[in-house]
Amino acid sequence: MAKNPLPKREEIIALFEIYSPLLSIECRERFLDYYYEDCSLSELAENYHVSRSAIHDGLSKTVSKLNAYENKMGLLKKKKKLLEKLSEYQTITNEEEKKKAFKELLEEIEDAI
């Protein structure tokens, strides 16, 4: 069985939401059509007047770029970490612990910026 070159749909979409401004307009349009509009490779090939293979290769390259951006900048990782810390903060009821957790959350935000 061939390995799917476009794994983890939700993770890929999360990366796109962060890094899409760094992609070309053409890459963004095809990505949006495939991942958001649920167009098939055949539909995209017909719409853009290219082969299915060209669409597949282009999407694979786009996903590779998104992963490369994440590997260099780590913005999705930072976002997930901040959301986790915020979630933890919201569950704390003790005032002293809440103050300490708030200070840690602020430090995390500063580190992320």
Is pLDDT at 7 greater than 60 in this prediction? no
For position 4, what pLDDT does the model report? Answer: 53
For position 6, what pLDDT does the model report? Answer: 47
- Second CATH level (architecture) for the domain 9-73: Orthogonal Bundle (1.10)
For position 2, what pLDDT does the model report? Answer: 45
Is pLDDT at 110 greater than 70 in this prediction? yes
- For 62, other C-beta atoms within 10 Å of its C-beta total 25
Domain residue spans in the chain?
9-73, 76-112
pLDDT digits (tens, 9 = 90+) for 59-106: 999 999 999 999 999 999 999 888 888 888 888 888 888 888 888 888
Q: What percent of the chain has pLDDT over 70?
A: 94
Query: What predicted TM-score, i.e. pTM, was given to this entire model?
Result: 0.78
Secondary structure (DSSP) of 21-87: GGS-HHHHHHHIIIIIS---HHHHHHHHTS-HHHHHHHHHHHHHHHHHHHHHH-HHHHHHHHHHHHH
pLDDT digits (tens, 9 = 90+) for 10-44: 999 999 999 999 999 999 999 999 999 999 999 99
